[in-house]
Chains A and B, each alone.
Chain A
Amino acid sequence: MLEALASAWNTLNLYPQPDGKPPWERSLVALADLSDQSVTIDVDPDGFSQNAEPLSIRNQAVGKLARLLFMHNVASVALTRAPESRELAAFFQLLGSTPIEGEDLQNQLDLGGVRAMRTRARPELTEHRRSSARVIGGEIGRAEEVNDAIRQGAVPRRFARKLIKESGEDPARFAEEFCAQFEHLFRQVEAEDWSGRDKIVQTFVETFAFLPVKFQLATISLALERRAERHFQLFLDQFAAYELAMLAPNLEEGVFPLLLDYARVAAVERGGTPDLESLLQSGPDLEGAQQAVVGRIGERVAGIKDFTIADLKPFAALRQEVAEISLGLENGVEVMRGLLQVEQRSHRVQRLLRIWASRVSDAVQRDQFEAALAWVEGLSREVLEVANRNPELGVGYHLVATPELLQLLVADLEATPANSPRRRLLAAIGRHAIAPIVELLGSEEDAARRRALIDLMVDLAKLEIDGMIPHTRDRRWYVVRNLALVLGKAGRKEAIPALIGLARHADHRVRSEVLRSLVALAGREAAPQVWTAVSDSNDRVQLTAVGLLPLVHRGNDYTARIPELLADSGLTTETKLKLIELLATDHSPLAHHALQELAERRAGLSGGARALRDAARSAVQKRQARAAS
């Protein structure tokens, strides 16, 4: 299935109207054969898997297909029936479009009438949904006595009075009944009814606050004795440190150590602050502490009359900061940078990158290239430091460097200054822009724009030669020819092996360009390729090679081989004439002798041979005339 999809996708990329093209038709047949097997494959960032086993496919297009599906948040793809040609084309076109935030690809497929392929989106991290009953109101399903207690507890003062009365106004008995009722009702609430548990704790805690002191002391003492029990722990945890510390001086002798123990456990084991422990140990005058707090607050504001920004003497640093407040996009960049640093969940990272890509695209569409550049540079500079983030970053850049966005960036590029934000943005996007620009170059008909694109490609190749080279294996000769030109101009010697490999390209136009670029990059080291090309089957290539001979040799030390070439029947007359021109520039005796010999040929000459003889004669005569003068 993957092979068929990849082949079809490649075909569509080459031929916008793929119907009738053999690879396309073969793919449709293959998919039709598979359609009754309910094939489903899972999508990973870099490839595919099935039943958790990675699928190893050598076709490069498969990897690209996986990345596109991943960017659209697709978890799996299934073939449900034999696809029609139109469906398959629509599937790839949607896949190639920019993912829309919040938009499900399957939804788009449905709208596009694609039924043969079904995709499944990746689930969100948290898929919990509160049950309808809880949304309606937690009272539903709770024991009536729980609801009743909560209702009564809504007026805690009244509830406290009621409980005191029921206890016969005896503090010890009150404490027993209070704690028993609290425990009983707490246990009545279902474990997953968090709202109910919260309300029960609130009821009893708030009611406690309205008790007379002696009732509070009795109750808190009993709660402390049972502090190891979870619900009493929750009860005690509700109070602020000073609230419990206020009771401490009046606790019975045996109870104070329990409070101290609770304070220590709360601080150490459950991450609470050590305030209560320090308050208990210092034996504070808490009433005095209250005044001290007020005093400290007063100190904070002392000396400040009503101030305004013009008179922010106490806040000089703030004044400066207020004057320089930034509301701009640097805040967004800062947030994106931070989020990508801290986020560990891969699907969230993916979503962040989609947001990032949409920001870049949006800015470009608004011609806000500085803004787009800020987004790109803000990501590149910092986030690359995050370990193992590069594959995902690649996905993000792939999202940005779409043909549509690149089209906007390269529009009127020839008129765009060298250091403009637009050019810097293109450079920043770097290797990820290469593929789309290669495509643009392939379809561009306007000569001036083509030149501008080539110049852009040259700039990119200077930075990202590795990303450029794979495209030299493109099946379109004109793409390869342009790339050969670009590689030669970019001046990166890393391109030499690839160019050597292209020296035997099927298309002569490519071979010619490759030769020129090889010579530009390798100089004399390209001599073997040039000599081979002199004998090329195509006359244009021959001529190009001959013209390059002086560049790959020191002085004229190549002319010794020319007579031998002149005898080669595989060379065209035009090529041989060119060789004679080269001979004519060489004033060595060897060259002179070769010319002389050619010039003196007589009978039995074909038209071409005669042309060569005449050219040789002309060269000799010129030489003699120069010598005479």
Chain B
Amino acid sequence: MLSGMLLAARFRKGKRVRQADAFRFLASLRRAISAVGLYPLDHPTAREAVEQAARSAAMVTEEDGRVVLSVVEGAFYLDKVLLPQASLELGPLVEAFDERGLSSISLKHPVSASDLEELAVFISSDSSDVPADGTIKINERPFSKAELKDAVRLSNLRRSYASALDLLRGVTAAADGGEAFELTDVASAVEGLLEAVLNQPGASLLLAGLKTHDEYTFFHSVNTSILAISLGKKLGLDDAQLVGLGTGALLHDVGKVRLLPSIIQYPGRLDDSQWAEVRLHPQEGAQAILAASGPGQEIAARVALEHHARFDDLGYPRVKGRGRLHLFSRMVTVCDVYDAMTTRRSYKRAEPPNRALQVLVEGVGTQFDPDLVRAFCHMMGLYPTGSLLQLSDESVVMVLEPGTEYPLVISISWSGEGEAEISDPRRIDPASVVSQLLPEQVGVRPATLLEDPHIVELLARA
């Protein structure tokens, strides 16, 4: 892992970096919109937010001088290139654009702070004042779907994923405010995920590798739900059971809404008092879900309560006289730990997928149900879908289909423009794997490769 491998030869400032800059600009624009909505325009907080957005806009426009950010069918595009990560993580901003009738904003370098301020005010309120300096134009050059380069409609899978994310944001806000939330809405979102998992199992597992740090809990919960549903499907659960399982997995960490940022974002080991707070989240979540659930939905509360109990019942909270942990709880525990370990958390780096599987294997009988770990490992394979591997010939490949013997992979290399190029799939001998790489080392997020139609087709055939 710590091979110090620098893919300098393959690194180009191209599409990937521009996408990252565009994401940062949109994120800073969202913050500016919030700031001008909360504070007077001459308030330091509002001014700083706008200036920050202007700096981000400078980074995204400096190379080409002018870019167009569009919203088409619920997704952001930079010029004609889809921004999958931004579309998922900044869903509320997409909605804000839609509400104000914005289909595109053209940015001209250097974007003035006053134009940005007016844009932020325009989006956040009923103002009809559009930016006047001329560095930002609204709806000047909306692209039609046919013109978009990666004109792939946001797939049902992504829509389901995005819907689940939005729902979780709402549920969390309600739980944080002590308000009730509708579990039926949660079940509907899970049904969307279920349909996606049933129709696109390979792509679902790839999308379950989507990671983000700022909204870790939301993405983690959706990923855990996808993994749990996939595992449940493997065990032959029926649809009603899968919805119950998926709902429990989606809400298993809702109790964390009560945790202070000083605990959630603490970049180190927690002390006893902090741990005591963390250990309350299963019961907090269970209580919130129990209050919201109707007949037949209580299973989600049980999963929330039990998901840290451990297979040997030495976890938390400790309940005297408790019988066997529910099957769904044990399943969610496995999926929860796997996704958590493969995501960068505030106190730990992300680990490669097969290291996470190792932790599961080493924990059978104590932390994890042996049979469920076995089934999970079989589902994920030695190197799960989306794993990035370095082979003995120094090539970098991504796993499409795990296989228990010869994984199906595609090679990833970089074009002169810094764009990822994908080879035809082939099977490899696991013995040729030298090391497993993290996405940051390779410079690609496997989940974003879902936007490549070729990948989608390969996954469908795999």
Chain A contacts to B: CB under 8 angstroms? 101-102, 124-126, 128, 130, 132-137, 139-141, 147, 151, 154-158, 160-161, 192, 194-195, 197-198, 201-202, 205-206, 209-213, 215-216, 230, 233-234, 237-240, 242-243, 246-247, 266, 270-272, 290, 293-294, 296-298, 300-302, 304, 307-310, 312, 314-315, 317-318, 321-322, 325-329, 331-332, 334-339, 341-343, 348, 351-352, 355, 363, 368, 371, 382, 385
Contacts and interface: CB of A to CB of B under 8 A. Distances in A.
B290 A332 contact: yes
- Give me the 7 closest cross-chain CB pairs, A-B, nearest first: A309-B236, A332-B298, A137-B31, A194-B265, A234-B268, A201-B267, A338-B319
Nearest to A309: B236
Nearest to A237: B268
A300 B347 contact: no
B147 to A, nearest CB: 30
Contact of A300 (B48, B268, B377, B430): B377
Contact of B1 (A243, A297, A331): A243
A194 B46 CA distance: 21
A246 B1 contact: yes
B27 to A, nearest CB: 8
A487 to B, nearest CB: 38
Given A161-B8, A198-B346, 8 more contacts: A157-B6, A198-B265, A201-B346, A202-B213, A293-B354, A301-B404, A331-B302, A348-B287
A304 B38 CA distance: 58
A297 B358 contact: yes
Contacts of B7: 157
B355 A140 contact: no
A238 B321 contact: no
B179 interface: yes
Nearest to A210: B6
Given A198-B346, A205-B349, A210-B4, A341 B320 contact: yes
Given A136-B49, A327-B241, A355-B291, A382 B269 contact: no
A177 B129 CA distance: 49
A104 B368 CA distance: 43
Contact of A209 (B327, B349, B433, B443): B349
A233 B268 contact: yes
A332 B301 contact: yes
B235 A322 contact: yes
Nearest to B379: A301
Given A194-B261, A339-B283, A309 B235 contact: yes
Interface in B315-329: 317-323, 326-328
Q: Which of A205, A315, A318, A371 is the most central at the interface, judged by chain B CB atoms within 10 Å of its CB?
A: A318
Interface string B265-284: 11111000001000000010
A297 B377 contact: yes
- In the complex, which range does the number of interface residues on chain B fall in? 35 or more
Contact of B305 (A212, A300, A338): A338
Contacts of A133: 45
Interface of B: 1-4, 6-8, 11, 17, 20, 24, 27-28, 30-31, 34-35, 38-39, 45, 48-49, 52, 178-180, 213, 234-237, 240-241, 244, 258, 260-262, 264-269, 275, 283, 286-287, 290-291, 293, 295-296, 298-299, 301-302, 305, 317-323, 326-328, 344, 346-349, 351, 354-355, 357-358, 361, 371-375, 377-378, 381-382, 404, 430, 433, 435, 438, 440-441, 443
B266 to A, nearest CB: 6
